[in-house]
Amino acid sequence: MQIWVICVGDEILRGHTLNTNLAFIGDTLAREGYSITRECTIPDEENIIAATLTESLNSADLVITTGGLGPTTDDITRTVAAGVLERPLQFDPDILAGINAFLRSRNVSVPADALRRQAMVPTGTDTLTNANGTAPGLWCQLDKRALLMLPGPPRELEPMFRTHALPRIRQAWPAHLATRTCEVCGLAESVVAERVEPVLEAFPEVRPAYCARPGQLTLTLTAHTSQREELERAFAEVHPPLGTHVLPADCKTVGAAVGKLLMARSWNLATAESCTGGAIAKAITDVPGASAFFCGSFVTYANAWKEACLGVRPKTLAAHGAVSRETAEEMLDGLLARDGVDAGIVVTGIAGPTGGTPDKPVGLVFVGTGFRTVRRVERCVFPGNRESVRLRTVAVALNQLRQSLLAVGDEA
């Protein structure tokens, strides 16, 4: 089955907007066993949209468009599609009533002609309800093929795709690929491949894919739906060589996995951050419900704050510098001494681009984690620019605490 995606929008081509809609649709389809054959991003220009639609409808089973369904005059996908399909636009009073109800609920007013434009749909097209906006999605069945038109804003597109489009796709084209994924942290991509690929030699029908981010990697195994049992066995067998580097199935991020371990012990976590400037606390609180285990963070950017908040001794800072094992150890002791803190993470380092020396290069970070009598401070040197150093520090720090918690098991 061929799925072609057309994203309409100058803002993507100009680099103002990252194409998160493609990532969302690609990821959602992949989980269902479908894959996108081609994606095109084109400007809001009538002749280019028409040419791309025509080419795509001649080649693909399912064509998905995003964007250009809104109320303004540059939203022309609907009109161009009607022309290409030779299905004239018709006014649908039910759509207009739905849009009016949505706008009343939000106390928003929109010019009448803009509303009416959104209520025009190509003849013989099904509309998909938009729970978070005015423009409905459109599903146009063409014999065995289909054209699916989705609005551009992600908060409108995403629920519409999941709720209304996916069931139609599943019904029209039963999936032929099955996939299983897991999250792996703390191992380089080449190391994961070295451990996974020998296992997969026994499963020639199962293909691996690796998608690496700083400190974390998504491992995806894919097979034809007729090979589902082999896929499940292969998925089970790649786990032992990866050990505790695999996150629990219900945790997408290492922050969520740390939270799960802490909540199981009813422990509270606090952090003290220098070079990450709050990014570890942010990563922890990105997950809803973090207040169940997270008390807070001291972002001690200035040395005076390291002394005042964490009790780091001026002597230590003078003798060893803020970026040193000794300072990290005192930060950790000070943090764990605070009331109600059961487990702690501290980092101090040089994120760059300036501030490095031959002894202490940019990318040098001391990562400390601890709880009860357990203390661990590691010296790390991360490659890359400021953002990369900070992202890796966050991932490594959270994983270091996670590994320590797993190592003590239920003893602590």
Query: Site residues for a second copy, window 84-143 (CB under 8 A)?
Result: none
Query: CB-wise, 43 or 241, nearer to a second copy?
Result: 43
Is 52 among the residues that bind a second copy (CB under 8 A)? yes
Query: CB-wise, 36 or 120, nearer to a second copy?
Result: 36
Is 227 among the residues that bind a second copy (CB under 8 A)? no
Rounded least distance, CB 278 to a second copy, Å = 3
Q: Which two tokens stand for residue 276?
A: 């990450």
Nearest-CA neighbor of 174 among 6, 375, 54, 34? 34
For residues 195 and 215, what is the distance between their CA atoms, to the nearest angstrom? 17
Is 65 among the residues that bind a second copy (CB under 8 A)? no
Residues 6+ apart with CB under 8 A from 179: 30, 31, 33, 220, 221, 222, 231
For residues 158 and 28, what is the distance between their CA atoms, to the nearest angstrom? 10
Q: Give yes or no for a cis peptide into 353 (omega within 30° of 0).
A: yes
Q: Which of 8, 57, 149, 281 binds a second copy (CB under 8 A)?
A: 281
DSSP assignment of 301-355: -SHHHHHHHH---HHHHHHH-SSSHHHHHHHHHHHHTSTT--EEEEEEE--SSS-
Phi, psi of 167 (to 5 degrees): -60, -35
- Region 358-387 residues binding a second copy, contact defined as CB under 8 A: 384-387
Query: CB-wise, 10 or 326, nearer to a second copy?
Result: 10
For residues 70 and 350, what is the distance between their CA atoms, to the nearest angstrom? 46
Query: CB-wise, 9 or 122, nearer to a second copy?
Result: 9
- Region 253-272 residues binding a second copy, contact defined as CB under 8 A: 268, 271
Is 20 among the residues that bind a second copy (CB under 8 A)? yes
For residues 297 and 93, what is the distance between their CA atoms, to the nearest angstrom? 54
Three-state SS letters, 111-123: CHHHHHHHCEEEC
Task: Tell me the number of residues near a second copy by CB under 8 A.
Answer: 77
Q: Which of 102, 173, 267, 305 binds a second copy (CB under 8 A)?
A: 305
Query: CB-wise, 70 or 136, nearer to a second copy?
Result: 70
Rounded least distance, CB 176 to a second copy, Å = 16
Is 18 among the residues that bind a second copy (CB under 8 A)? yes
> What x/- string results for residues 309 through 328 when contact with a second copy is judged by CB under 8 A?
x-------------------
Query: CB-wise, 6 or 121, nearer to a second copy?
Result: 6
Query: CB-wise, 300 or 400, nearer to a second copy?
Result: 300
For residues 334 and 306, what is the distance between their CA atoms, to the nearest angstrom? 9
Fill in the DSSP letter of residue 49: H
Query: CB-wise, 4 or 127, nearer to a second copy?
Result: 4
Beta bridge partners of 147: 63, 140
For residues 412 and 157, what is the distance between their CA atoms, to the nearest angstrom? 46
Is 353 among the residues that bind a second copy (CB under 8 A)? yes
Rounded least distance, CB 206 to a second copy, Å = 16
Rounded least distance, CB 92 to a second copy, Å = 26
Binding segment (CB under 8 A) for a second copy, from list 122-130, 140-148, 242-250, 296-304: 296-304
- Region 200-219 residues binding a second copy, contact defined as CB under 8 A: 209, 211, 218
Is 79 among the residues that bind a second copy (CB under 8 A)? no
Q: Which residue has the tokens 């799960």?
A: 260
Is 54 among the residues that bind a second copy (CB under 8 A)? no
338 to 247, 284, 372: CA distances (angstroms)? 30, 19, 12
Q: Which of 73, 109, 291, 373 binds a second copy (CB under 8 A)?
A: 291
Query: CB-wise, 251 or 351, nearer to a second copy?
Result: 351
Is 77 among the residues that bind a second copy (CB under 8 A)? no
Rounded least distance, CB 36 to a second copy, Å = 4
SS3 state of residue 378: strand
Q: Which residue has the tokens 């953002």?
A: 387
Task: Decide if 157 contacts 12 (C-beta within 8 A).
Answer: no
Query: CB-wise, 48 or 172, nearer to a second copy?
Result: 48
Q: Which two tokens stand for residue 22?
A: 């493609």
